Amino acid sequence: MKLHRIAASACVAVALLVMAPLARAQVLQQVPADALVVIKINKLKPVSDKVAALMQKLGVAQMKPEMADPLGNMQKEAGVTQGVDQNGEAAFVLLNGDMNGEKPPGIMLVPVSDYKAFLGNFADAKTEGDISTIHPKNDPADTFVANWGKYAVLSPQKEYLSKKPEGLTAQGLAAKELESKDIVAYVNMKTARARLLPAITQGRTQFLAKFEKAMNQPARQPGNRAGGANAAAAAQPAVNQKYMPVMRTGINRFIDVAEQIIRDADSATYGISLTDPGISGTMLLEFAAGSPSATRVAEFKNSDASMLTGLPQGKYLMFGGSVSTTAASQKLVNDFLAPIEKELAALGEDGKPLQNWADAIKSYVGAVKSTAMGMVTPSGMIGEDAIIQPVTVSTGDAKAIIDAQKQMFESQQSIMQLFTPGGAKPR
């Protein structure tokens, strides 16, 4: 008998362990598998309480009393006070639908404890089949609502509520972010890339064409007159055309990187945690195993050491840090700059100022081991004390870091002169 009870208890425990993540991620079960973007709020009331505590600490609630209870105030303003499950998850979802219409293809998932009571918030609610038409407070436009599981699903377009979805399953680290963070924005890159890659191809051509046209326009200089030498100077292109191949290659390199990331990424998330000290955020890109981006990222080594070493004690508006895997960082920068440096070499002496700047960047990357940065909280009154007060501390080969920075500053003056019409020295 005791063995049967122990076995039964073990089965219940295992079932609870298995079901717990499912319960926490319940809102994703009501999201279409091909959704583009999901913004998930992990339990409405606890997150609202965290926001309220932070607003009290910052003094915002004293100026705006409604921030002492963000959720309660939002419910009151929207006229939705009945039937909402305040301990449930909520989500805003951008669907994989037509983006060219007047209304975005989206739905909002509101957790409900009583769906009928939720509908009762709207005196003019009309129901046909499984879908009701409502008018939220101070909004004359039709909003459509349906009941999926423990959720009221709202959308400005009725067709998005006609079929209950099969659910969205996040994988890997993205799933952990969605489960653990207070607020998470999740981008389903597997769906998004089908839209983004063609847009990048088209946008690349259009952007380069507009850029080159702008750079070919005559540069207007202060004090130019209609004739004489001033008019001749004004007729010169905004940028010396010999440098256009370098600029074109540089732009293409940035677009190449964005395209590769989109091609290789499975998901992207930005998670926010609200804690007593403040707000912390985590940005995550998860790549398909074996993809070029995954292989490159695997070359970088993480660290469990503090990334704030060297920052002076004090109050900061924001702070952060990073560690560098020297060999991987150098390889990344060298690979990025290689096509650009090829164009610089073709310029001979005219390309040396730009090459000097590129060399300084490579030297700097090779010398830095870690970087900590912070934005100090101003101590004086606004207008008397600078609002932006950054502090940056880098560790590594101090002499090489300083020499590289000096080389960058010196190169910048020469570069500005190269790109000034007529070669005039910048003021």
Nearest CA among 271, 263, 262, 259 for reference residue 173:
271
Task: Judge whether residue 24 has pLDDT over 60.
Answer: no
User: Among the listed ranges 289-293, 378-382, 392-396, 408-412, which one has the minimum average pLDDT value?
Assistant: 378-382
Per-residue pLDDT tens for 95-112? 999 888 778 899 999 999
| Res 58: pLDDT | 79
Terminal CA-CA length for the chain = 92
| Res 12: pLDDT | 39
> pLDDT-based confidence at 424, cuts 50/70/90?
very low
Determine the Cα–Cα distance for residues 239 and 418; give it in Å rounded to an integer. 8
Instruction: Give the CA distances from residue 231 to residues 20, 55, 226, in Å, rounded to whole numbers and listed in that order.
Output: 75, 59, 6
| Res 21: pLDDT | 41
Per-residue pLDDT tens for 249-305? 999 999 999 999 999 999 999 999 998 888 899 999 999 999 999 999 999 988 888
Task: Judge whether residue 356 has pLDDT over 80.
Answer: yes
Instruction: State the pTM of this model.
Output: 0.81
| Res 345: pLDDT | 95
**Whether 79 contacts 136, CB under 8 Å:** yes
Which strands make up the sheet holding 279-287, listed edge to edge? 126-128, 131-134, 143-148, 151-155, 106-111, 90-94, 37-41, 183-188, 265-274, 279-287
Average pLDDT over residues 125-142: 92
| Res 19: pLDDT | 39
| Res 419: pLDDT | 63
SS3 per residue for 268-311: EEEEEEECCCCEEEEEEEEECCCCHHHHHHCCCCCCCCCCCCCC
| Res 389: pLDDT | 86
Determine the Cα–Cα distance for residues 87 and 43; give it in Å rounded to an integer. 5
Q: Which two tokens stand for residue 324?
A: 């560098």
Quick one: what percent of the chain has pLDDT higher than 90?
A: 63
**Whether 372 contacts 319, CB under 8 Å:** yes
Q: Which two tokens stand for residue 257?
A: 């990187």
Query: Read out DSSP for 247-269?
Result: HHHHHHHHHHHHHHHHHHEEEEE
Running DSSP on this structure, what letter comes out for residue 171?
A: -
pLDDT winner (highest mean) among 102-106, 118-122, 161-165, 297-301 = 118-122
**Whether 108 contacts 78, CB under 8 Å:** no
Per-residue pLDDT tens for 193-245? 999 999 999 999 999 999 988 888 776 555 555 555 555 545 566 567 888 89
Task: Judge whether residue 314 has pLDDT over 90.
Answer: no
Task: Judge whether residue 23 has pLDDT over 80.
Answer: no
Task: Judge whether residue 16 has pLDDT over 80.
Answer: no
Task: Judge whether residue 183 has pLDDT over 60.
Answer: yes
Q: Which two tokens stand for residue 142?
A: 């039709």
Per-residue pLDDT tens for 367-379? 999 999 999 888 7
**Whether 27 contacts 39, CB under 8 Å:** no
Determine the Cα–Cα distance for residues 208 and 227; give it in Å rounded to an integer. 32
Average pLDDT over residues 313-339: 91
